[in-house]
């Protein structure tokens, strides 16, 4: 395995590369662009890279399905950290192009909903076609296949383009969340401001099946931060659920919830416990009564006393 190599969703000039370069350790790693999320994650599975940074969630469009599906299937991987990046687009064009000259535009499919209103107001007749990534869209403009691309302003110089318009976004404070995935090992150390990710499969489809899963978290005071259903490929109506919850697997309430899920579900895939980006333990509200590690310990000691006749 190349311990000094990090893969990422390329090509050069993507928001993923910008997020990766914001990590201090990136300065000492070889950063290798990959053509897709599955290829980036497979580089980790094969040992060609120690880790891969890929987008997993956008504040406008929600989950990045390619990443969610890839983490739920194939050889298991684990998330070791997350990175948040503010997203705003620039309209990149070849030098000399005016707004009136633009008939075709391109960008990543996730970008389109974030600039839809701007497009309708400023380029209502332009034809949109999707690209593999925003940076790949810039490359296609460089090659003359499209008139303009929505990408990060930082990508302009890499592809010999000019930012005709900058700071384009329909939603204020748009963010994309990226995760650094590696091969399974001991989770990152607990910080007190952590997140745990799992994928859960339902045993069978019956009334209240999803509620039963959610109650494993609720009964232990574990707050869910994200839950998304994804088809399993086994037929219509067959789904698994990608879940992020507050806390670390070593927190008694989280570990107990995961054990509860494992008892009632045919399959649970643990994707990791890792620090929450931009949050410290001091930022979090106090735990609900009865959900701290101390409360779990006291309850276990009480049960032991009952069993010994010492209650």
CA distance 189 to 275: 8
Tokens 């990608």, residue?
242
CA distance 3 to 172: 38
The per-residue pLDDT for 145 is 97
The per-residue pLDDT for 107 is 93
Asked whether residue 6 falls in the same domain as residue 48, the answer is: yes
Asked whether residue 210 falls in the same domain as residue 277, the answer is: yes
Asked whether residue 207 falls in the same domain as residue 303, the answer is: yes
Domain count, the chain: 3
Q: What is the CATH number of the domain that holds 113?
A: 3.40.190.10
pLDDT digits (tens, 9 = 90+) for 37-69: 999 999 999 999 999 999 999 888 889 999 999
Report whether pLDDT(275) > 90: yes
Asked whether residue 195 falls in the same domain as residue 306, the answer is: yes
The per-residue pLDDT for 233 is 79
Report whether pLDDT(266) > 70: yes
User: Which of 106, 133, 168 lies at the terminal end of a domain, its last residue?
Assistant: 168
Domain span at residue 36? 1-87+174-185
Mean pLDDT across 79-93: 95
| Cβ(204)–Cβ(102) below 8 Å | no
- Name 135's Cβ contacts closer than 8 Å, sequence gap at least 6: 10, 11, 12, 13, 14, 17, 151, 152, 155, 158, 159
User: Which of 158, 185, 212 lies at the terminal end of a domain, its last residue?
Assistant: 185
User: Which of 153, 185, 217 lies at the terminal end of a domain, its last residue?
Assistant: 185
pLDDT digits (tens, 9 = 90+) for 150-183: 999 999 999 999 999 999 988 888 899 999 999 9
| Cβ(79)–Cβ(54) below 8 Å | no
- What 8-state DSSP symbol labels residue 193? S
Judge residue 191's burial from the number of C-beta atoms within 10 Å of its C-beta, 0-12 exposed, 13-18 middle, 19 or more buried. Answer: middle
Asked whether residue 160 falls in the same domain as residue 204, the answer is: no
For residue 147, give the 3-state DSSP assignment. Answer: coil
CA distance 74 to 64: 17
CA distance 163 to 166: 6
SS (H, E, C) 226-290: EEEEEECCCCCCCEEEEEEEECCCCCHHHHHHHHHHHHHCCEEEEEEEEECCCCCHHHCCCCCCC
Asked whether residue 124 falls in the same domain as residue 136, the answer is: yes
Asked whether residue 158 falls in the same domain as residue 181, the answer is: no
pLDDT digits (tens, 9 = 90+) for 93-123: 999 999 999 999 999 888 888 999 999 999 9
The per-residue pLDDT for 116 is 92
């Amino acid at each position: 395995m190349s311990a000094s190599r990090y893969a990422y969703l390329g090509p050069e000039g993507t928001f993923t590369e910008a997020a990766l370069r914001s990590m201090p350790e990136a300065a000492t790693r070889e950063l290798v662009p990959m053509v897709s999320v599955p290829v980036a994650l497979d580089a980790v599975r094969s040992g060609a890279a120690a880790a891969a940074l890929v987008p997993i969630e956008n504040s406008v469009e929600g989950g990045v399905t390619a990443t969610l599906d890839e983490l739920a299937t194939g050889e298991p991987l684990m998330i070791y950290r997350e990175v948040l990046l503010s997203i705003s687009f620039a309209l990149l064009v070849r030098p000399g192009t005016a707004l009136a000259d633009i008939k075709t535009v391109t960008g990543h499919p996730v970008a389109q909903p974030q600039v839809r209103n701007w497009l309708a107001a400023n380029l209502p007749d332009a034809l949109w076609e999707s690209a593999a990534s925003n940076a790949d869209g810039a490359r296609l403009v460089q090659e003359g296949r499209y008139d303009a691309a929505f990408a990060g302003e930082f990508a302009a110089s890499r592809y010999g383009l000019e930012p005709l318009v900058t700071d384009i976004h329909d939603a204020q404070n748009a963010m994309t969340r990226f995760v650094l995935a590696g091969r399974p090992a001991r989770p990152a150390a607990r910080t007190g401001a952590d997140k745990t990710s799992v994928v859960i499969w339902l045993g069978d489809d019956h009334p209240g099946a999803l509620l039963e899963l959610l109650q494993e978290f609720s009964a232990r005071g574990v707050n869910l931060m994200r839950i998304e259903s994804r088809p399993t490929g086994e037929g219509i109506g067959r789904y698994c659920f990608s879940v992020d919850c507050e806390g670390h697997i070593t927190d008694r309430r989280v570990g107990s919830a995961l054990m509860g899920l494992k008892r009632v579900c045919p399959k649970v895939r643990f994707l990791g416990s890792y620090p929450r980006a931009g949050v410290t333990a001091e930022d979090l509200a106090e735990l609900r009564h009865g959900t701290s590690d101390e409360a779990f310990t006291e309850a276990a000691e009480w049960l032991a006393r009952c069993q010994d006749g010492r209650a």
